[in-house]
A and B are shown apart, each in its own frame.
Chain A
Amino acid sequence: SQKIEQNSEALNIQEGKTATLTCNYTNYSPAYLQWYRQDPGRGPVFLLLIRENEKEKRKERLKVTFDTTLKQSLFHITASQPADSATYLCALMNTGFQKLVFGTGTRLLVSP
């Protein structure tokens, strides 16, 4: 069966450290992968997109890697701040470019 898995346990880190979140998928052939941020009571907000032929993407303090052999994406937030505390979701768009499916999300807590 198809699965998109993210750590269900919250990730607790100290301010200033790098947060690394993992997204693993099985039985998908994604054209690309996206990362979203979701705050309580709000809809997800887009952060980054990485295509199947790209290894790494950066945007300010954010970095995403994509390994189609391992079927895994890593999402890094460097110099983390308490304001980065939120739930982060990965999403895949299938190669037919129609269905957008999401992982379960990982909650990040950054302590001062």
Chain B
Amino acid sequence: GQQLNQSPQSMFIQEGEDVSMNCTSSSIFNTWLWYKQDPGEGPVLLIALYKAGELTSNGRLTAQFGITRKDSFLNISASIPSDVGIYFCAGPDLSGGSNYKLTFGKGTLLTVNP
């Protein structure tokens, strides 16, 4: 199946700083997804990207679908304490022929120091 390499694994930043994380794959994805997981909860979808080169924002979050369709980036501007959590990239696993089988990156653990 397809694999996603997400970096960095963890980040420790000061409140107000900007954050960048990225995800790469050796194979093409037609859809890129970014999720956030809070402790004790399931992942929540933040942004969905459907087209190569697409740049989409959701409040202070901005994500881009790489032109090669093998990477994606998530930026968080002016971080606040509630941004703490694990951020995952994900995409439908086309090798399985299904949009309901998601492949996830290993996640980026974000800690924000007030």
Is B truly associated with A?
no
- Where the two chains meet, the residues of A that have a C-beta atom closer than 8 Å to any C-beta of B are none
